[in-house]
Amino acid sequence: DQQVKQNSPSLSVQEGRISILNCDYTNSMFDYFLWYKKYPAEGPTFLISISSIKDKNEDGRFTVFLNKSAKHLSLHIVPSQPGDSAVYFCAAGLSGAGNMLTFGGGTRLMVKP
């Protein structure tokens, strides 16, 4: 049973436009959420996170939105750049659970010049 799901395996966006990556979770106990970015042949790198006490967190071009009632989070990238082309993973965790994270299946983002 996948507790964290990314239903879109891939997304293609034009440079300069907004990219919206979505993630759904089933465990209402999760209280923090993260997004990671992964290039081929490299390890994932941390991008942005959000605590369940917030509904939005922004860092430059990246904004994460959390809708707890819908158990849904999204990552907005604006404006999208070709260098943003990568696989994006969302992850969820429980504070006090020793850094344990549950990851989604990933969404491959392609930003076309």
Partner 1 sequence: DVKVTQSSRYLVKRTGEKVFLECVQDMDHENMFWYRQDPGLGLRLIYFSYDVKMKEKGDIPEGYSVSREKKERFSLILESASTNQTSMYLCAIGTEHQTVRYEQYFGPGTRLTVT
The residue ranges that bind partner 1 (CB under 8 A) are: 4, 6, 9, 32, 34, 36, 41-46, 49, 89, 93, 95-101, 103-106
Gyration radius from the chain CA atoms: 13
Closer by beta carbon to partner 1, 29 or else 100: 100
The residue written with tokens 């994460």 in the block is: 64
Torsion of CA 86, 28, 69, 66, to 10 degrees: -30
Closer by beta carbon to partner 1, 15 or else 110: 110
Closer by beta carbon to partner 1, 50 or else 111: 50
Q: How far is the CB of 79 from partner 1 (least distance, A)?
A: 25
Q: How far is the CB of 21 from partner 1 (least distance, A)?
A: 13
Q: How far is the CB of 54 from partner 1 (least distance, A)?
A: 13
Alpha-carbon distances of 73 from 2, 34, 88, rounded to whole Å? 16, 10, 13
Q: How far is the CB of 38 from partner 1 (least distance, A)?
A: 8
- Two tokens at 63? 């904004």
- Two tokens at 31? 């209280």
Q: CB of 77 within 8 A of CB of 26?
A: no
Closer by beta carbon to partner 1, 49 or else 74: 49
